[in-house]
């Protein structure tokens, strides 16, 4: 370029690539890469016709580059990296830019000779002139050229950003500057000032690249990552800028970095293979096979991060409904992880498109009826979907007569999953974190979701995967046993994805991305951190946060990027494991912040902000402000009304700050404070949280007998709430803790008889549901030993009969019921003959002869405890006799129940008894009109009964007669309704008590004859 030229500088600059065999033919050309034709095309054989010109950016001294022009810059840079692997073109052996020839050895990554480094320097100067729009010259003074690098060395960064004018060198114009540079020995090269590039607003990374290329002749600079030793490094840096211009061609927001500090993104680094395995498992699951995945690894290895990355990837690839929950070893809320995942779904639907909320609401009501409201107890946001006009009384019912409410809730949950999965075109994905802490109830529920939602899985709408600590998940873990069983029974495969520590290259990628610095520059820091942390992602982040706090890693205004003190970091003493490191860092936190973190850690990995606000007021200790400071220190996160530890290791470190003997006192103090608020405000969720805290403290933290009784009552209330939510494991734990507090007081059966009796009875019932037979037997023995009257033994007798039956000793259960019925003066005949059955039939007809349907429907409910218990025992006897194939007495039982109902009032079993009576009239006596009347009466009585435990039995028996009167198609549907009612009540048998209708009808037939 000559001074005073009218042409643009871009007309004189061209990048030219050619093959090795063609270089000799081009030696005769006067200009190689610098000419006056913008589009030279060389026709000699062997050339690759890649001729790239660059358009200059218009600017003046006061202008900055528009950020939008960075993409244009990236497009221009991409010309330098053309692969030229298509057509007849050959690979590039030489790259010529303004006379700088980069030899083949340099391209292959071999260290450059001094001449090779001069060539990189020449390329750097060319880049300088390319992006500045001007030219750069070398001083002609002999004394300047004779100075050594050490003598002439100035602060490269200061020069690059123009912060030290006194050290800059004014270089005069020379049209032969490249030739002059080629003649200068490396030891006498001077640093080149590229300050004008900053005035143009050029990105820091590009300034660094040009500066480092110019400084490549400095032999020591490469050791510190400050200059280039390989042309492949230049290529890699350029490729990073081209592939990620928004990351590397935009400067760090220094104001944000200074004010907010070091922040980490959401990407998982070095997990490409694991991500691909998870994606393939997902694709198989939603295409043809039933498959689940489990991500395992040590704490802090990046399991949760991989799941988040997977969620984003799936959403980008076509969308999905991604639900997530997390188990917590300090959390006692029933089915918390799974229910919270679906509760978030309900909140998402409510806040989203109104038409989708209407669609989901309609589908749930049509498919599940009013029973869907039972799920509101575990998914509060479901109430917003169902609407105010929906009858939600079911959500508050504690159906003590349900066969197994836990099984019923699981069935409703499965129906819910199936219904919502059909409302969306996108697949439904459920992720559960920290599965090493999954409770037995959640294992059972998850198992049933996977099995009973198989229609959704077959229709490619459901996928489950989880994450766990492999060092806390043995082969005997309940979840592993469940997955193994599913594989053997259902063929559901489990893909196991094992995560290990990050490699050095992955760690360097992380630093390069998070610090927005070229990977070549961050590589020395990455090597140091990998050595100190062994590549644990959590450990790396915690160390980096500590480096930031100690000002060993900080945003530099002078350098316009993050910088670090390499030598000081190298000398820094760091423990061998992340737990010790985190614990040590906590010691340096302000006292008030650490105290608040200790309080929060008592509630697990997260807690509602509203909960902390209530506790702050009750215990009169600052919590919210210090916890907000902890958020600023990146110890905590804050989202959706919750405060949460950024990792469970942080929670464990905060919790460890309490001495073991102090922890029980802290838990007790917080629980008692919250318990009084829960009772006063009638807040059931707060009650469970409060009682859980008290129980973490245990009996040793109770101050006196009076407080022990208060705590026992709180556990009784919490246990009932847990039963309402069908978590009998949690309920039994509450009742058991309540008993343990009562035992602090001698003679509690005398002093607190009613409380003791209720706690023991409910504990026995829960233990029976949980198949803890030894505990059931022990509790029953204590009840029967301490009760004051026979009536107080009713619940224990009922549980004992179920225990004997479930243990295989059905004859003993039959004898127990017979003896009890005799003691109640309601014994059955010792010999059941057709004559006896006919007498019962005639008596029943006499009772009903003058009663209309209206009068029967208006009958009062049975309230006599002895008679209610009698009816319950009669139907238990019905089931026991069926199991041992002694069915002679079966016809008498429903007739006796009808007679008791007409004398003492209607019980929950009365509708089923009337349905069986209607069957006899229609199918045996051929009185279809009269039989159909009692069948319809039975269904009407069923709707009036509060309990839903026996609906399946009533519907089932009624359908036999309806088949002969109503259209067959509609009647057959009733069998399916009976099945669903059985499932909701937890009675998972195909017919009531497993008795085919023909057997009952045959018995009635013999009596008639």
Closest CA to 81 of 242, 278, 282: 242
Over residues 693-741, the pLDDT tens digits come to 999 999 999 888 889 999 999 999 999 988 877 778 888 999 999 999 9
**What does each C-alpha distance from 570 to 531, 547, 953 come to in angstroms?**
10, 11, 75
Tokens coding 968 = 């067959």
Question: DSSP readout, 764-791?
Answer: HHHHHHTT-HHHHHHHHHHHHHH-SSGG
Contact 128, 122 (CB under 8 A): no
Alpha carbon of residue 48 to chain centroid: 53
pLDDT of residue 501: 93
Cα 688 to Cα 679: distance, rounded to the nearest angstrom: 11
Cα 71 to Cα 676: distance, rounded to the nearest angstrom: 62
Alpha carbon of residue 733 to chain centroid: 26
Cα 844 to Cα 735: distance, rounded to the nearest angstrom: 43
Cα 726 to Cα 398: distance, rounded to the nearest angstrom: 9
Cα 687 to Cα 694: distance, rounded to the nearest angstrom: 11
Crossing angle for the helix pair 591-601 and 648-655, to the nearest 10 degrees: 110
Count the Cβ atoms, other than its own, within 10 Å of residue 807: 13
**What does each C-alpha distance from 577 to 217, 583, 645, 949 come to in angstroms?**
41, 10, 19, 55
Cα 66 to Cα 55: distance, rounded to the nearest angstrom: 15
The shares of helix, strand and coil residues in the chain, as percent rounded to the nearest 5, are 60, 5, 30
Where are the alpha helices (H) located in 557-634, listed in sequence order? 566-571, 578-586, 591-601, 609-619, 624-632
- Is residue 495 within a helix (H) or strand (E), and if so which, with residue range? strand 493-498
Over residues 250-292, the pLDDT tens digits come to 888 888 887 777 888 767 899 999 999 999 999 888 887 788 9
Cα 862 to Cα 906: distance, rounded to the nearest angstrom: 5
**What does each C-alpha distance from 57 to 10, 133, 201, 208, 736 come to in angstroms?**
10, 8, 11, 19, 77
Cα 858 to Cα 937: distance, rounded to the nearest angstrom: 11
Q: What are phi and psi of 209, to 5 degrees?
A: -60, -45
**pLDDT, averaged in runs of 10, over the chain (1009 residues):** 39 38 45 37 37 38 44 49 40 36 38 64 83 55 33 34 33 35 37 64 84 72 61 86 85 81 81 93 83 91 91 84 88 79 92 89 87 84 82 47 63 88 89 90 86 56 90 88 86 90 93 89 92 91 90 87 91 86 86 94 91 94 94 85 87 90 93 94 91 93 90 94 80 94 88 95 91 92 93 94 91 93 90 88 90 91 93 90 83 91 92 90 88 91 83 85 79 73 60 44 45
Tokens coding 592 = 């008030």
The residues, ordered by sequence, that sit 6+ positions from 545 with a Cβ below 8 Å of its Cβ are 262, 634
Tokens coding 600 = 């929060």
Q: What are phi and psi of 190, to 5 degrees?
A: -105, 150
Closest CA to 40 of 67, 22, 14, 7: 14
Closest CA to 539 of 514, 502, 569, 506: 502
Q: State how beta strands 642-645 and 636-639 pair.
A: antiparallel
Q: What number of CA atoms fall less than 13 Å from residue 642's CA on the CB side?
A: 10
Cα 858 to Cα 906: distance, rounded to the nearest angstrom: 10
3-state class (DSSP) for residue 792: helix
Bridge partners, 96 (sequence order): 16, 101
3-state class (DSSP) for residue 465: strand
**What does each C-alpha distance from 16 to 12, 97, 133 come to in angstroms?**
13, 7, 19
Tokens coding 690 = 């409060």
- Between CA 182 and CA 185, with CA 183 as vertex, the angle to 5 degrees is 95
């Amino acid at each position: 370029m000559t001074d005073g030229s009218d042409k643009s500088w871009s007309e004189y600059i061209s990048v030219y690539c050619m093959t090795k065999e063609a270089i000799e033919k081009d030696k005769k050309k006067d200009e190689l890469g610098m000419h006056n034709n913008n589009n030279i095309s060389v026709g000699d054989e062997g050339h690759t016709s890649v001729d790239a010109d660059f358009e200059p950016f218009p600017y003046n001294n006061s202008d900055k580059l528009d950020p939008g022009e960075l993409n244009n810059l990236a497009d221009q840079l991409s010309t330098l990296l053309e692969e030229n692997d298509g057509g007849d073109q050959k690979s590039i052996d030489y790259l010529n830019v303004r006379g700088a020839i980069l030899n083949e050895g340099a391209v292959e990554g071999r260290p450059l000779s001094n001449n090779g480094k001069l060539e990189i320097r020449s390329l750097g100067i060319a880049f300088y002139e390319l992006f500045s729009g001007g030219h750069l010259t070398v001083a002609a003074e002999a004394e300047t050229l004779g100075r050594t690098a050490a003598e002439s060395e100035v602060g490269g960064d200061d020069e690059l950003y123009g912060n030290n004018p006194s050290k800059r060198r004014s270089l005069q114009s020379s049209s032969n500057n490249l030739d002059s540079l080629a003649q200068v020995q490396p030891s006498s090269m001077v640093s080149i000032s590229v300050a004008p590039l900053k005035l143009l607003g050029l990105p820091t990374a590009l300034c660094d690249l040009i500066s480092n290329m110019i400084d490549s002749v400095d032999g020591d600079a490469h050791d510190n990552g400050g200059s280039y030793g390989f042309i492949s490094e230049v290529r890699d840096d350029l490729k990073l800028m081209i592939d990620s211009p928004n990351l590397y061609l935009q400067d760090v927001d220094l104001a944000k970095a200074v004010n907010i500090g070091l922040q980490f993104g959401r990407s998982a680094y070095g997990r490409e293979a694991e991500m691909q395995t998870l994606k393939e498992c997902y694709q198989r699951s939603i295409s043809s096979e039933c498959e689940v995945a489990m991500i395992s690894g040590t704490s802090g290895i990046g399991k949760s991060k991989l799941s988040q990355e997977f969620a984003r990837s799936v959403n980008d690839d076509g969308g999905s409904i991604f639900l997530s929950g997390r188990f917590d070893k300090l959390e006692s809320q029933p089915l918390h992880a799974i229910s919270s995942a679906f509760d978030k779904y309900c909140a998402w639907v409510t806040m989203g498109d109104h038409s989708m909320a209407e669609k989901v609401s309609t589908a749930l009501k049509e498919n599940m009826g009013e029973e869907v409201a039972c799920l509101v107890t575990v998914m509060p946001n479901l109430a917003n979907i169902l609407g105010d006009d929906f009858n939600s009384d079911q959500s508050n019912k504690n159906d003590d007569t349900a066969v197994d409410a836990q099984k019923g809730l699981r069935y409703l949950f499965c129906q819910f999953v199936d219904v919502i999965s059909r409302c969306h075109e996108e697949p439904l994905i459920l992720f559960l974190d920290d599965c090493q802490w999954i409770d037995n109830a959640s294992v059972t529920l998850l198992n049933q979701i996977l099995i009973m939602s198989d229609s959704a899985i077959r229709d490619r709408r459901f996928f489950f995967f989880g994450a766990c600590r492999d060092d806390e998940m043995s082969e005997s873990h309940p979840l592993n046993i469940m997955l193994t069983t599913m594989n053997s029974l259902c063929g559901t495969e489990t893909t196991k994805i094992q995560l290990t520590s990050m490699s050095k290259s992955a760690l360097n990628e992380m630093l390069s991305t998070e610090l927005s610095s070229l990977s070549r520059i961050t590589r020395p820091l990455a090597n140091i951190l990998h050595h100190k942390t062994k590549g644990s992602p959590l450990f790396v982040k915690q160390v980096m946060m500590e480096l930031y706090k100690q000002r060993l890693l900080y945003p530099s205004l002078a350098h316009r990027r993050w910088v670090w003190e390499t030598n000081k970091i190298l000398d820094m003493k760091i423990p061998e494991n992340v737990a010790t490191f985190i614990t040590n860092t906590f010691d340096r936190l302000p006292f008030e912040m650490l105290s608040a973190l200790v309080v929060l850690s008592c509630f697990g990995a997260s807690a509602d902000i509203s909960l902390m606000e209530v506790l702050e007021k009750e215990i009169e200790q600052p919590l919210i402000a210090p916890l907000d400071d902890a958020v600023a220190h990146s110890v905590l996160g804050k989202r959706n009304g919750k405060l949460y530890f950024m990792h469970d290791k942080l929670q464990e470190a905060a919790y460890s700050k309490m001495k073991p003997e102090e922890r029980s006192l802290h838990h007790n103090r917080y629980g008692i404070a919250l318990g009084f608020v829960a009772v006063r405000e009638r807040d059931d969720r707060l009650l469970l949280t409060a009682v859980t805290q008290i129980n973490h403290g245990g009996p040793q933290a109770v101050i006196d007998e009076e407080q022990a009784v208060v705590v026992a009552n709180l556990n009784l209330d919490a246990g009932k709430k847990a039963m309402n939510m069908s978590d009998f494991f949690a309920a039994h734990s509450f009742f058991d803790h309540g008993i343990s507090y009562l035992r602090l007081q001698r003679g509690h059966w005398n002093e607190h008889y009613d409380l003791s009796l209720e706690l023991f009875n409910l504990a026995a019932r829960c233990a029976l549901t949980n198949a803890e037979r030894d505990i059931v037997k022990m509790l029953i023995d204590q009840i029967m030993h301490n009760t004051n009257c026979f009536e107080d033994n009713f619940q224990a007798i009922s549980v004992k009969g179920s225990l004997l039956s479930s243990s295989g000793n059905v004859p003993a259960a039959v004898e127990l019921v017979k003896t009890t019925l005799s003691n109640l003066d309601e014994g059955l005949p010792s010999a059941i003959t057709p004559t006896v059955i006919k007498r019962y039939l005639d008596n029943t007809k006499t009772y009903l002869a003058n009663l209309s349907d209206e009068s029967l429907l208006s009958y009062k409910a049975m309230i006599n405890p002895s008679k209610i218990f009698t009816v319950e025992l009669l139907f238990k006897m019905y089931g026991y006799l069926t199991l041992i194939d002694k069915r002679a007495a079966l016809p008498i039982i429903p007739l006796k129940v009808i007679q008791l109902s007409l004398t003492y009032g209607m019980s929950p079993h009365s509708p089923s008894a009337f349905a069986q009576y209607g069957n006899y009239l229609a199918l045996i006596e051929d009185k279809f009109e009269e039989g159909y009347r009692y069948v319809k009466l039975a269904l009407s009585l069923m709707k009036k009964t509060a309990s839903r435990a026996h609906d399946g039995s009533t519907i089932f028996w009624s359908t036999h007669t309806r088949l002969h009167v109503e259209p067959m198609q509609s009647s057959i549907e009733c069998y399916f309704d009976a099945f669903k009612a059985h499932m909701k009540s937890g009675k998972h048998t195909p017919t009531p008590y497993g008795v085919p209708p023909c057997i009952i009808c045959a018995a009635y037939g013999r009596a008639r004859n």
